[in-house]
Structure 1
Amino acid sequence: MLRIKKLDIFIVKSFLMLFIGTFFICLFIFMMQFLWRYVDELVGKGLEMSVMAQFFFYSALTLVPVALPLAVLLASLITFGNFGERYELLAMKAAGISLLKIMRPLIFFVCGLVGVSFYFQNIVAPIAQAKLGTLIISMKQKSPELDIPEGVFYSDIPDYNLKVAKKNRKTGVLYDVMIYNLKDGFENAHIIYADSGRLEMTADKQHLWLHLYDGDLFENLRAQNMKSQNVPYRRESFREKHSIIEFDSEFNMADASIMNNTSSAKNMIALQASIDSMTVLGDSIGRQYYQEISDGNFRAPYGLTKEDTTKIMQADIRSYNMDSLYEVATLMQKQKIITTAVSRAENIGSDLTMKSYTMANNDYSMRKHQTEWHKKITISLSCLLFFFIGAPLGGIIRKGGLGMPVIVSVFVFIIYYIIDNTGYKMARDGKWIVWMGMWTSTAILAPLGAFLTYKSNNDSVVLNADAYINWFKKIAGIRSVRHLFKKEVIIHDPNYQRLPGDLQTLTAECEAYVAKRRLQKPPNYFQLWMSAEKDDEIVHINNHLEGLVEEMSNTESVTLLSALNSYPVIPVTAHMRPFPIYWLNILAGVVFPVGLFFYFRIWIFRVRLAKDMERIMKNNEQVQFIIQNINK
């Protein structure tokens, strides 16, 4: 029987509070990005609050499945980062609880989120997408709110261009008004100039009432064209002029059926039905086009009768010399033959272009439906994938709050978005197989999540910066420097009577090693890779040195500590073969550029080791002198 433990409740509570907060933050960010795309359709049109509320409500419903994966990633990173930073994760593991058991209650919770995401993708989002698409189309069709600027032509009134030099915003009076009435075309524009005027909206909000004072009207009496030099016109002066202009400023909702054929407004059952219908339609059209193209130029649409077609099919074209037939024709017949051939070629080209466009359009629509079908599954599964990335990363990084987790989560999500969007476009455009393009991001994230979960469960240092820094120092030959300080509490004092003899023995070992190894000379290239000998002598010298330094570090003499810091840190394997495996060394020696690189690297380390031996011997003399002064 499954029992809910207090630890599971604690983990779920810690995750749930962060998830709710991060979800609304992510949803708000995506909504702002979505709003920015349609800002031109919203600004300056005087939309009512109810219309704006519907826009934000439907857009939020469509963006819920997109915000869920990022919220899961960010919440899991922060949760397990907080556990690691507060040593709670360490305490759980110390109690014998593995990372997978710690993640188990959240795995069930995230699986529930996968179901919620799929429900929104398959049930809620299609309805919301249809409503939102209809609303956006209606907002695009709505006329903008009347706000005439000063000094520029205003063209948002249909068939009119209006320019105002100055306007009084309190009284609404317009000064130096110039109007171009383009109802009869640009060539027959009616130009009105008035000293002042007023523009008002009628009560039904379907017309504009224009009042003009002290002006003139210019109108051409006949059509004007490019060749016209003198065009008669009519001029009319007026003290007052009033006219009605059609201007529908009401918000009219478009027909909801306009979004019925879009792939984003269908659930999986409707998508599959549409895919099957388009497949059958494409096959039938393709067979029909194939039959028509197979018949070639002998079809009735090209002006040939049935008898002509029969004669041409029965004739052997190879028995006729076409060039000679063409040469004996008259000039008029030649022109007719060429004209007919060109006309038939153009007709065939136009026909094939139309056929290819029809087939390509049907295939494109079918791929869009297929990508939408797969998208409903992949986005839902991304919640689970992001959890298996975020939770192990949080346990490895061990940094909570909104600093490092936000940076890592945004970085991971950007990579996922680039891969997913690339695969989607490749699948939609027919360059990749649909299922391959849509599942590319999942195929990449799943192994990454499994790898991070495995490494975090085994307490790996895969993201420990110090481990990579140390590895780089090892490759580059950068050594650490000793930093010995005076200890506040000393338990065992150094044996100053025995230490001079031990230092003398260390000096003798170093001299013997340098004389035997001849470190200053270049090593034999072939013997370097073939020999499997281990350098146990340098290991012994290094252990002897470190033992003496450790014992003498308990001294109270600052002078002796300063001398101890002058001892080098010896890398005992840097001057040997690079790989512990014998056949890898043979392979490195055979691949000459690689072997040459390691050869010179080993030679440099041998020379440095020889200098380290000399440095140890000189430092031993100095330390012996300091100890003699201490013994006095």
Structure 2
Amino acid sequence: MLRIKKLDIFILKSFLMLFIGTFFICLFIFMMQFLWRYVDELVGKGLEMSVLAQFFFYSALTLIPLSLPLAILLAALMTFGNFGERYELLSMKAAGIPLLRIIRPLVFFCLFLSCISFYFQNVVAPKAQMKLWTLLVSMKQTSPELDIPEGVFYDEIEGYNIYVKQKDRKTGMLKDILIYNFSDGFENAHIIWASEGKMEMTADKQHLYLHLYNGEQFENLKSQSISSNNVPYRRETFREKHTIIEFDGGFNMVDGSFLSDRSDSKNMVEISHSIDSLTFRGDSIGRSLYSEIKSSAYRDIDLTKKDSVKMIESHMTIINADSLFSSYTLSEKDKTLGNAAERAESLASEWNMKSYPTTDVDNNIRKHKADWHKKITLSLSCMIFFFIGAPLGAIIRKGGLGMPVVISVLIFVIYYIIDSGATRVAKSGEMDMVLGVWMSTLVLAPLGAFFTYKSNNDSVVFNAEVYINFFRMLLGLRPSRHVFKKEVIIEDPDYPNILARLDDLCNECQIYDTEHKLSGAPNYYRIFTNSGHDDKIARISEKMEHLIEELSNSKDGTLLNFMNKYPILSTKAHKSPFDNRWLNLPAGLIFPIGVFFYFRIWRFRLRLDKDLKNIIKTSREIQDRIKNESFII
């Protein structure tokens, strides 16, 4: 019992050391990706370090639930990959400890991490999202840091356009300054030119203080009451001039109460209440629109005086629209159709505009429902990724940061594509919300169960040789025979006996080829009613393999080369598609599949005919070699 406890501690310690490192790496990557989206809001604003620290802190809190699944997947892959690479996992299994018992402490730990992820999403993340979005809106409204470039007009100050020809970085002096002041309107512009000057911010960062030297000022004096084409102006020459421009360069936190309606800034209880409120609001809008449509007058038919007279004369109570339209003249029909089309377009446009409130409400409801389910699916993904990573690492048996990183990124990208794509479709209303949000879980959960089952049973999943052999069998390909000279030979072959056995092998091949007529077309019925192997071919193959095994003790290299010409026979490829008769019958009854298998088996029969002739020819060559080289004493 004590040994198992020490094993649990060892496994937990190995996993924790990797998990902590991978978690902070994943969190850093997601933060850099998040920062890249909003880099334009941060650069050039002159924001203080405290503001940037708040931004990174709140973004880290919101990204923790997203970083946990990837960190668990990568840590599990690396941990069990290291165990497999160092044969520690093999030692545990050799001691009688199954994989499910080995991963049991980590299952409980990942379950704890899933609870932590849910707590962050339901409690911490909504508050952090509220703070983060308030901070982002405040950053967007913050004026950019004053940095007037050379040779271009700078228009970041509202109401002003400033041009600086040259800047002295050491002294801060500006050369050839041109300032356009449009704060009083375009027609009352103030233009200031100075040969040099200097700009600085006031202590409260609310104003820009300008020191200008050796310049001129132009000012239009046109007012709204003056209608003359001649506009008076004032010109002033100065040696030194000081002016103040309003420029709010500080950071001011806005009131974030308007962000309280966002679904990502609410916990599950608040989201449920919001869904109820939005549903009630949507129903109210729908009922009011229905009442308006029902009571609207657009369904009433406007009749001309001529039509009214006809109705009165005929005492009609039901209007036959076709008969009424047929009685019109050509010009009246054209006018009526034009009015109807215009009326239909007007109504379509009107009700399309009136449908916007209900559409917005429906979109908001779907967004709230998606975020409600997302808190559960993202927490559950921690467990799913563990049950993918741990058995996968045990199967691959590769540790370090090479193969595990590639596989982890690939699996996470697949998860992210499925999750984001299906959720987007569900939010648009084209898919059921539960199915769309849970799509990634429904796809990856069976994958995790499959890997866990295969790894627990020590099944071969990523052995390339297994898949190569499968496709070789499917395509009818065979490996070549390779017989090499042995370095140590204990006993030489019995050549007289081998000569007799080679004769026997050649006779059997000749008899089989004559009886079965392999070069001809096979019988379609026999192909799909056969369920066994060819015992005669199996016996020929067995005799040939025994002869090759005995002749491989020869010291003669030419004999070894002859033996490499022997084919590797298949005992059933030329008989039927499957071993089970009840699988062969349906395959033969389905016409396209049956024809495919028929020609495939015909090809194998031709190959077997060629192989038998090759066996006879090679056997005769070996016999001639043995006789000519006097191996028989």
Q: TM bucket by the smaller chain? A: 0.7 to 0.9
Rounded Cα–Cα distance in structure 2 between residues aligned with 1:190 and 1:110: 68
Alignment partner, residue 550 of structure 1: 549
> In the alignment, is the contact (CA less than 8 A) between 1:222 and 1:231 conserved in 2?
no
Rounded Cα–Cα distance in structure 1 between residues aligned with 2:344 and 2:401: 70
User: Could you report, residue by residue, the CA deviation over 1:419-448 in whole angstroms, capped at 9, with x for unpaired residues?
Assistant: 111122122222222222111111111112
User: Could you report, residue by residue, the CA deviation over 1:41-64 in whole angstroms, capped at 9, with x for unpaired residues?
Assistant: 111112111111111111111101
User: Could you report, residue by residue, the CA deviation over 1:222-246 in whole angstroms, capped at 9, with x for unpaired residues?
Assistant: 489xxx9966352524223332111
- 1:631 maps to a residue whose letter is I
In structure 2, relative to structure 1, the CA distance for the partners of 1:168 and 1:322 (3 Å cut) is farther
Rounded Cα–Cα distance in structure 2 between residues aligned with 1:24 and 1:608: 61
Rounded Cα–Cα distance in structure 2 between residues aligned with 1:555 and 1:96: 46
Give 1:83 shift: 2.0
- Structure-2-length-normalised TM-score: 0.88
> In the alignment, is the contact (CA less than 8 A) between 2:532 and 2:572 conserved in 1?
no
Rounded Cα–Cα distance in structure 1 between residues aligned with 2:556 and 2:230: 113
In structure 2, relative to structure 1, the CA distance for the partners of 1:576 and 1:193 (3 Å cut) is farther
Alignment of 1:38-53 (within 5 A): 38-53=38-53
Alignment partner, residue 141 of structure 1: 141
Q: Which runs of 5+ in 2 are unaligned?
A: 300-315, 330-334
In structure 2, relative to structure 1, the CA distance for the partners of 1:438 and 1:533 (3 Å cut) is closer
Give 1:317 shift: 9.3
> In the alignment, is the contact (CA less than 8 A) between 1:197 and 1:212 conserved in 2?
yes
1:22 and 2:22 equivalent? yes
Give 1:319 shift: 12
In structure 2, relative to structure 1, the CA distance for the partners of 1:570 and 1:411 (3 Å cut) is same
> In the alignment, is the contact (CA less than 8 A) between 2:218 and 2:236 conserved in 1?
no
Give 1:570 shift: 1.8
Alignment partner, residue 508 of structure 1: 507
Rounded Cα–Cα distance in structure 2 between residues aligned with 1:618 and 1:350: 88
Alignment partner, residue 180 of structure 1: 180
Deviates more, 1:613-622 or 1:126-135: 613-622
> In the alignment, is the contact (CA less than 8 A) between 2:528 and 2:577 conserved in 1?
no
Alignment partner, residue 104 of structure 2: 104
User: Could you report, residue by residue, the CA deviation over 1:565-597 in whole angstroms, capped at 9, with x for unpaired residues?
Assistant: 222222222222222222433333333333332
- 2:408 maps to a residue whose letter is S
Alignment partner, residue 359 of structure 1: 358
Secondary structure of the corresponding residue to residue 567 of structure 2 = coil
Alignment partner, residue 161 of structure 1: 161
Rounded Cα–Cα distance in structure 2 between residues aligned with 1:6 and 1:82: 18
Alignment of 1:203-222 (within 5 A): 203-222=203-222
Secondary structure of the corresponding residue to residue 103 of structure 2 = helix
Alignment partner, residue 612 of structure 1: 611
Alignment partner, residue 127 of structure 1: 127
Secondary structure of the corresponding residue to residue 495 of structure 2 = coil
Deviates more, 1:263-272 or 1:395-404: 395-404
User: Could you report, residue by residue, the CA deviation over 1:476-512 in whole angstroms, capped at 9, with x for unpaired residues?
Assistant: 2221112222333445543334222122211111111
Secondary structure of the corresponding residue to residue 177 of structure 2 = strand
Deviates more, 1:105-114 or 1:257-266: 257-266
> In the alignment, is the contact (CA less than 8 A) between 2:535 and 2:571 conserved in 1?
no
Alignment partner, residue 572 of structure 1: 571
Give 1:78 shift: 1.5
Rounded Cα–Cα distance in structure 1 between residues aligned with 2:218 and 2:470: 86
User: Could you report, residue by residue, the CA deviation over 1:445-470 in whole angstroms, capped at 9, with x for unpaired residues?
Assistant: 11121122122222222332211111
Deviates more, 1:229-238 or 1:544-553: 229-238
The count of residues paired between Structure 1 and Structure 2 equals 602
Deviates more, 1:610-619 or 1:234-243: 234-243
Rounded Cα–Cα distance in structure 2 between residues aligned with 1:432 and 1:593: 37
Rounded Cα–Cα distance in structure 2 between residues aligned with 1:345 and 1:513: 85
Rounded Cα–Cα distance in structure 1 between residues aligned with 2:602 and 2:428: 57
In structure 2, relative to structure 1, the CA distance for the partners of 1:234 and 1:52 (3 Å cut) is same
Give 1:556 shift: 3.3
- 1:199 maps to a residue whose letter is M
Alignment partner, residue 623 of structure 2: 624
Alignment partner, residue 469 of structure 1: 468
Secondary structure of the corresponding residue to residue 161 of structure 1 = strand
Secondary structure of the corresponding residue to residue 176 of structure 1 = strand
Alignment partner, residue 601 of structure 1: 600
Alignment of 1:21-420 (within 5 A): 21-186=21-186, 189-222=189-222, 232=231, 234=233, 236-239=235-238, 240-297=240-297, 352-420=351-419
Give % identity.
59
User: Could you report, residue by residue, the CA deviation over 1:240-279 in whole angstroms, capped at 9, with x for unpaired residues?
Assistant: 3332111111111122423322111111111112122222
Rounded Cα–Cα distance in structure 2 between residues aligned with 1:580 and 1:231: 107
Secondary structure of the corresponding residue to residue 381 of structure 2 = helix
Cα RMSD of the aligned pairs, angstroms, is 3.2
- 1:599 maps to a residue whose letter is Y
> In the alignment, is the contact (CA less than 8 A) between 1:214 and 1:237 conserved in 2?
no
In structure 2, relative to structure 1, the CA distance for the partners of 1:350 and 1:574 (3 Å cut) is closer
Deviates more, 1:277-286 or 1:364-373: 277-286
> In the alignment, is the contact (CA less than 8 A) between 1:134 and 1:258 conserved in 2?
no
- 1:113 maps to a residue whose letter is L
Alignment partner, residue 304 of structure 1: none
> In the alignment, is the contact (CA less than 8 A) between 1:178 and 1:194 conserved in 2?
yes
Alignment partner, residue 307 of structure 2: none
Rounded Cα–Cα distance in structure 1 between residues aligned with 2:88 and 2:389: 17
Deviates more, 1:423-432 or 1:198-207: 423-432
Rounded Cα–Cα distance in structure 2 between residues aligned with 1:496 and 1:68: 71
Rounded Cα–Cα distance in structure 1 between residues aligned with 2:158 and 2:361: 36
Rounded Cα–Cα distance in structure 2 between residues aligned with 1:290 and 1:4: 70
Secondary structure of the corresponding residue to residue 60 of structure 2 = helix
In structure 2, relative to structure 1, the CA distance for the partners of 1:317 and 1:297 (3 Å cut) is farther
In structure 2, relative to structure 1, the CA distance for the partners of 1:534 and 1:203 (3 Å cut) is closer
In structure 2, relative to structure 1, the CA distance for the partners of 1:207 and 1:11 (3 Å cut) is same
Give 1:618 shift: 1.8
- Structure-1-length-normalised TM-score: 0.88
> In the alignment, is the contact (CA less than 8 A) between 1:216 and 1:235 conserved in 2?
no
In structure 2, relative to structure 1, the CA distance for the partners of 1:499 and 1:223 (3 Å cut) is farther
Rounded Cα–Cα distance in structure 2 between residues aligned with 1:317 and 1:513: 93
User: Could you report, residue by residue, the CA deviation over 1:314-342 in whole angstroms, capped at 9, with x for unpaired residues?
Assistant: x989599999xx99xxxxxx9xxx99x98
Rounded Cα–Cα distance in structure 2 between residues aligned with 1:89 and 1:398: 9
Give 1:219 shift: 4.3
Deviates more, 1:230-239 or 1:20-29: 230-239
- 1:147 maps to a residue whose letter is D
Give 1:221 shift: 4.5
Secondary structure of the corresponding residue to residue 208 of structure 1 = strand
Deviates more, 1:452-461 or 1:60-69: 452-461
Give 1:416 shift: 0.8
- 1:454 maps to a residue whose letter is Y
Secondary structure of the corresponding residue to residue 425 of structure 2 = helix
Deviates more, 1:366-375 or 1:562-571: 562-571
> In the alignment, is the contact (CA less than 8 A) between 1:210 and 1:243 conserved in 2?
yes
> In the alignment, is the contact (CA less than 8 A) between 1:100 and 1:457 conserved in 2?
yes
User: Could you report, residue by residue, the CA deviation over 1:524-572 in whole angstroms, capped at 9, with x for unpaired residues?
Assistant: 3344334446311111111111111122223333333222222222222
Alignment partner, residue 435 of structure 2: 436
Deviates more, 1:85-94 or 1:197-206: 85-94
Deviates more, 1:91-100 or 1:400-409: 91-100
In structure 2, relative to structure 1, the CA distance for the partners of 1:221 and 1:317 (3 Å cut) is farther
Give 1:147 shift: 0.9
Secondary structure of the corresponding residue to residue 214 of structure 2 = strand
Give 1:164 shift: 1.6
Secondary structure of the corresponding residue to residue 5 of structure 1 = helix
